[in-house]
Amino acid sequence: MTIYKYPLVIADRQLVSMPVKSMVRAVMMQRGVLCLWAEVDPLSTVVSHAFYIVGTGHQLPDVPYLYYLGSVIDGSLVWHVYQELRAELAKTVTP
């Protein structure tokens, strides 16, 4: 396993190409950019992972298997980061 960093954009939904064997470990601002860090198996197949950025006071998306990753303060704003899990993985994750 290797730690990789992935910059995110502040958008309702975005797809990030990451190895299928990935586990997000942190979300933080770095030099004004929202980033996530994940443990990945760089030898596993790369697939699209869906992430959602939700501002405080905004409604959560109506998505099955939405998993909370963390909250990030950006000046006066607070962003809450979620990942849409695949159904088979969602069964193994306890909220």
What pLDDT, in 10s, does the model give residues 37-59? 999 999 999 999 999 999 999 99
**Contact predicate 47/17, CB 8 Å:** yes
Q: Which domain holds residue 18?
A: 2-90
Within-domain flag for 23: yes
Within-domain flag for 72: yes
| Contact residues for 94 (Cβ-Cβ < 8 A; gap 6+) | none
Within-domain flag for 77: yes
Within-domain flag for 46: yes
Domain tally for the chain? 1
* Residues 65-78, mean pLDDT to the nearest whole number: 96
pLDDT tens profile 77-90: 999 999 999 765 55
Give the per-residue pLDDT at 86: 73
Sheet holding 13-19, edge to edge: 13-19, 46-55, 77-84, 66-74
Within-domain flag for 95: no
pLDDT tens profile 10-25: 999 999 999 999 999 9
